[in-house]
Amino acid sequence: MALLSRSASRRTFQALGAAAAIAVLASACTTASSGSPAAGSPNSSNSARTGSDSGNAITIPVIGDFTGADAFFGTGQIEGMQPALQALNKAGGIGGRPLKLAECDTQSTVSGATQCAAKYASSPIVLALSVIANIKAAEPLLTNSLFLASTNLLNPPRSSNAFQVAPPGAAVDQIVDKVAQDSHFSSIGIIATNDAVGESQIEFIKAAAGSLKLNIQFVSPTATDDTVALEKLVSSNVQMIYAAALGTAGTAVIKGYNELKPSMPLVVTGADASYGFLKGISAFEPADNFYTIPGTPLVPGDIQGQDQSAMTSYVNTIKSSVGHDPDSIDVSGEYAIDVLIALLKGPGLSSSLSAKEAWLHKATIPSLTNVEFSDPSLNVLTNVPPGFDKVNGTTFTAASTNLSS
């Protein structure tokens, strides 16, 4: 996900109603033909979205969480891709060939991700729209493909064939320390998954913690009840709780927090700052003291030098299509498709893996919203840190980073 700075005049975003949420998911899961395999099968291509049915299409495999607990992740990103994809095909595609995305559903599982990766192991380029654990499971099976991942915290080494279309995790997690320091807190509690993903977040937070005291509780990435870990943090009187977990693990933290109703604020980030996720947890979403780091531009003018007319057009297009302004997941998908299109127009699909890798390492890729991928050594967006929002009843409202004010 990209990072942003927030203006004081940032609008309040209203979440989808139940009917609109159903419509969004239905739209995101439309199949290309009635003869395709059953939706939800990890070995099935759920759709080929383009707006063109040409048999000469360039088809790119997409591994994504389209059903299951983390379906908000894949479907939201596919929604965000549509304006750029449709504009490309309307203009004649790439060399006269339309671009299609062939989706394979992980069903929000590691096993589903590995099945999809095995299916596409010989593909020149594979796009991944999954939560971190699923992307990590798919990556080892795609060593012969250029692997574009739209999730942060993957942080692949420069020698890897995997590229993340997202900022490094450190850029997001450092904000946790800034919020605590701006709020004059002396201690924060952290719930992290006991895997490489959680451990990497902890290292980023520790690096920027300064004099902050950290109380860290590790939980399983698949846990559905994190109440015990939360009780330990609450009893230790930490002043803020940060959920260093996404998807299923993040849901468990929020659910436990709502049951305990402690006085200290809860902070989440990443994919948890999306309409799809918050709507999915609406039955137990905390009413008070619930904050999120959105991580992506939602309003024209949020980023210095941004093409405001392009961003306004994008916001309006998404809103008319799915019923809400683009959220962090939608925009993440937009960046991913921008990189994919640039790659296909650059070295091209049939070029060697080393040629694709070399091009990405040196290229600066402009996005629809006029934010450039100008750090080729990391292959990530370089923007200022994200703003901070308060979440209340699935409504996002701009907030100061000082949570004690």
On the 0-12 / 13-18 / 19+ scale of CB atoms within 10 A, 228 is exposed
pLDDT of residue 325: 74
| Average pLDDT of the residues in 196-225 | 86
Q: What is the pLDDT of residues 261-287, one digit of tens each?
A: 999 999 887 666 677 777 788 888 888
* Cβ burial 69-104 (10 Å sphere, 16+ → b, else e): bbbbbbbbbbbbbbbbbbebbeeebbeebbbbbbbb
Q: What is the pLDDT of residues 344-391, one digit of tens each?
A: 999 999 999 999 988 887 776 766 655 554 433 323 333 334 556 777
> What mean pLDDT is reported for the chain?
76
Q: Decide: 334 and 314 in contact? Cβ < 8 Å.
A: yes
Is a pLDDT exceeding 50 seen at residue 45?
no
Q: What is the pLDDT of residues 50-73, one digit of tens each?
A: 444 557 999 999 999 999 988 888
Is a pLDDT exceeding 80 seen at residue 86?
yes
The answer to which of 21-35, 126-140, 206-220 has the lowest mean pLDDT is 21-35
Distance CA 314, CA 311 (A): 5
pLDDT of residue 306: 63
Percent of the chain with pLDDT over 70: 71
Indicate the pLDDT class of residue 24, thresholds 50, 70 and 90. very low
Q: For the chain, which domains are there?
A: 13-168+304-373 (3.40.50.2300), 172-298+389-399 (3.40.50.2300)
pLDDT of residue 16: 24
| Average pLDDT of the residues in 281-305 | 69
Q: Decide: 296 and 274 in contact? Cβ < 8 Å.
A: no
On the 0-12 / 13-18 / 19+ scale of CB atoms within 10 A, 200 is buried
Is a pLDDT exceeding 60 seen at residue 34?
no
pLDDT of residue 170: 60
Indicate the pLDDT class of residue 205, thresholds 50, 70 and 90. confident
Q: Decide: 78 and 49 in contact? Cβ < 8 Å.
A: yes
Percent of the chain with pLDDT over 90: 33
On the 0-12 / 13-18 / 19+ scale of CB atoms within 10 A, 261 is exposed
Q: What is the pLDDT of residues 109-165, one digit of tens each?
A: 999 999 999 999 999 999 999 888 888 889 999 999 999 988 765 566 667 788 877
Is a pLDDT exceeding 70 seen at residue 292?
yes
Is a pLDDT exceeding 60 seen at residue 301?
no
Q: Decide: 135 and 120 in contact? Cβ < 8 Å.
A: no
- What is the pTM (predicted TM-score) of this model? 0.73
Q: Decide: 41 and 83 in contact? Cβ < 8 Å.
A: no
Is a pLDDT exceeding 60 seen at residue 31?
no
Is a pLDDT exceeding 50 seen at residue 91?
yes
pLDDT of residue 150: 81
pLDDT of residue 283: 86
Indicate the pLDDT class of residue 395, thresholds 50, 70 and 90. low
Among candidates 137, 212, 226, which has minimal Cα distance to 173? 212
pLDDT of residue 318: 82
